[in-house]
Structure 1
Amino acid sequence: MAVASPAGVRRGPLWRKLAALAAALALAVAPIPASAKPKPTVKQLKRELAALQKESDKLITDYYSTRVELQKVDKTEKAARERFKGAQAVYDREATNLRLMGTTQYISGEPNLANMFSGGGDPESLLNRLALNRHMVDVQNARLRGFAQVRDELQRAQEESAAQEEELRATVEDLEDRKKKAEKLIAKMRDKIEQLHDVPGARRDGTFVPQLPAGEDNITPRMRLVKQLVQERFEVPFGIGCYRSIRDGGEHPLGRACDFMLSRGGAMPSAAEIARGNEICAWVVKNAKRLGIMYVIYRQRIWHVRNGQWRTMTDRGGTTANHYDHPHISVY
């Protein structure tokens, strides 16, 4: 008699219960997919901000104290330089006089007693000549002593000036270091403050719900937030252009794009404005996933959130068309 295969066994209620139990157990032990990192709460952000504010106040106080110290050192250094300049002038003048004295003595010869007595005359005349010679020697000695004092004063002024210059340089370096630390902390605080803004239409899984343009500017709430944050952080003195009705296949007519101008009339921006454009792009790329950025275009290059890399674009034939005078930001 042939043995029935398992596939041919009729399965009763007990079998179905066991199968259901096995399926439930399988689900229970299945790995749970990793969830996205939860967004910090407003309370957490405010607590972090309070700690950063305390640290910032100390840094700014230190920065201010160093600036005051720098002003004092700078004043002392300038005074030392002036003293050195004056001492140098006196030294040069006395050195010239000393050279002239030496030249005169060399030409006329040193006075001696034989020359004094060879002049003849009465004793009164001789005494007068001796007194005159003594006076000349005293004048020369005084001049030599004065020159030595001038020389020593010049040396002291030179050393003081060099010491003050070194102290000034060290203070400037210290001030610059404190300034950089304060700027980094301020940027960190700004990042925390920006996180307090709820991105319109954002979902916990990092996707973004499509939005309709609204308001007088005809842009979406998400684009409006990005525009506001860029303006607050960087300023854009040459204007921001967002909605336009021309349907060119981009996001402008959908209210999902803005151009942050770095010059006027299609002119090539200055070096400072080009740097500003680079800073805007770097910040937008850094915050792309949080703010719902889709892509950024700047200086004939495009960055898309899908691949996270910059690539060169084809030449469109002009400064503005190639985005050399503005970063273009599009959101979902």
Structure 2
Amino acid sequence: MTAPLRRWLTPVVAVITALAIFSGSAPAMAQPRPSGHEDGDSKLLNDVIETTNRNFTQAQNKLEKSKKRQLQLDLEVRRAQSELDRLAPQVGQIAAQSYRSGRIGAMAMLLDSDQPDSFVKRAQALDELNMVNARKLAEVQEVKDEAAEAKEQLDAEVTEQQKQHALMAKQKRDAEKSLALVGGTGLTGGLVVAESPVAKVAPGRDSNGNWRPQGCTENDPTTSGCITPRTLHMYKEVKRAGFDRFVGCYRPGGPWEHPKGRACDWSLQNRGFSPWHNNDTRMYGNNLTAFLVRNADRLGVYYVIWNRQIWFPATGWSSYSGPSNHTDHVHVSLL
């Protein structure tokens, strides 16, 4: 292998080795524990966003370096091709002459010359030049072939890194979208797991995807009142997701959804209501809110209120300053 090509292939091998590590799948996000108890398996959304941003930057940097090396290898191939083109006519001419006259031998020395010594010298020179250029041509061809192979490998690397670049960009957008969906760091303080369980689809949806009105026909498991079938389904799904602290749904009186059986208040405590006061209670409220918001379309959520913020499917999050600041419970109303 020639020295110029060796200089190019050495970093290529390093890059391909690094790519084997880099191109592996992104770290899997552990299934969350919605109860809010922190453990080593749950990844907070802020941690996931930081990781995906770092991976995105690394992918971008590696891609740019690969593109530069690809250009350098392309120039090496062009140089080799240029050298090959320059030598080809000369070697071709020598090859044709050799074909007509043959290699130097006893019979050749007797033909086409009155001066054998001169003939021998010319034949020797021709033969030597032919062999020298043939070796040079073979060397240039080897450089060209190896450089072309290296360039092909680097092209494949760049293609793979472009895929990784796109994947990381998507992960970055998804993570940022997820953070915005649960109200950002202002609402959650970053204490929210990266994923929520997927809820089963609630009953009462027509073929067009619209939620049909429902009456207060089901017994409320939290009070002596009634709730709608959709509210009961939401209640069961939230419980199934691991949120098992105190909750109250039906409440008589007032113009809103509680007396209609279409709302529940999910406390942060095992009994009664009191504002969040530590990471456990705040994270419980954050994760419960995230579950409701992320599954809003499956559960038929009308709006969610938590920690001085209100969320509507059509408008997202905005500040809330109603009769309660909702720092002691997560309120959810259904359609």
TM class, shorter-chain normalised?
Answer: 0.3 to 0.5
Radius of gyration: which is bigger? 1
The structure richer in helix per residue is 1
Per chain length, whose mean CA-contact separation is higher, i.e. which structure has more relative contact order (CA < 8 Å, sep 6+)? 2
